[in-house]
Amino acid sequence: MRLFEQIRQYNYKRALKYNETYLFFVLIVFGAGITIINPTFLSPENTFDLINSSAGTAILAIGVFLVLMSGGIDVSFTAIAISGQYIAVNVLTAAHVDNLAFAFLVSCSVGIALGAVNASLISLFKLPTLITTLGTLSMFHGGLLAFVGTKAFNTGDLPNCFKAFGQASLFTLTRPDGSMYGLSVYALILLVILIASWLILRYTMLGRGIVAIGGNREAAERAGFDIVRIQYFIYCFVGFLAGIMGIMHVSLLRYSNPNYIVGDELNVIAAVVLGGARITGGSGSLLGTMLGVAMIVILEKNLVLIGLSSYWHQFFIGLIIIVGVSITYYQNLRRTNQRVVFVKE
Q: Which of 238, 287, 299, 293 is nearest to 271 (CA)?
A: 293
**CA 45 to CA 329: how far, in whole Å?**
38
Binding site for another protein (CB under 8 A): 73, 121, 125-128, 130-132, 134-147, 150, 266, 269-270, 273, 279-280, 309, 311-322, 325-326, 329-330, 332-333, 342, 345
| Minimum distance of another protein from residue 302's CB (angstroms) | 17
Question: Beta strands 169-174 and 180-184: pairing type?
Answer: antiparallel
163's CB contacts (< 8 A; 6+ apart) are 155, 251, 254
Phi, psi (degrees; rounded to nearest 5) at 102: -65, -40
| Minimum distance of another protein from residue 162's CB (angstroms) | 25
Q: Which of 278, 220, 273 is nearest to 69 (CA)?
A: 278
Indicate the SS3 state at residue 86. Answer: helix
127's CB contacts (< 8 A; 6+ apart) are 121
| Minimum CB distance to another protein smaller for 100 or for 327 | 327
| Minimum CB distance to another protein smaller for 187 or for 325 | 325
| Minimum CB distance to another protein smaller for 202 or for 335 | 335
| Minimum distance of another protein from residue 337's CB (angstroms) | 9
| Minimum CB distance to another protein smaller for 140 or for 153 | 140
The strand ranges marked E within 234-323 are none
| Minimum distance of another protein from residue 140's CB (angstroms) | 8
| Minimum distance of another protein from residue 230's CB (angstroms) | 20
Residue 324's Cβ-count burial label (10 Å; 0-12, 13-18, 19+) is buried
| Minimum CB distance to another protein smaller for 141 or for 249 | 141
| Minimum CB distance to another protein smaller for 189 or for 238 | 238
Within its chain, how far is the Cα of 188 from the centroid?
16
Phi, psi (degrees; rounded to nearest 5) at 258: -65, -5
| Minimum distance of another protein from residue 322's CB (angstroms) | 4
Indicate the SS3 state at residue 15. Answer: helix
| Minimum distance of another protein from residue 298's CB (angstroms) | 18
| Minimum CB distance to another protein smaller for 15 or for 319 | 319
**CA 293 to CA 272: how far, in whole Å?**
7
**CA 345 to CA 323: how far, in whole Å?**
25
**CA 107 to CA 128: how far, in whole Å?**
27
| Minimum distance of another protein from residue 90's CB (angstroms) | 16
| Minimum CB distance to another protein smaller for 38 or for 283 | 283
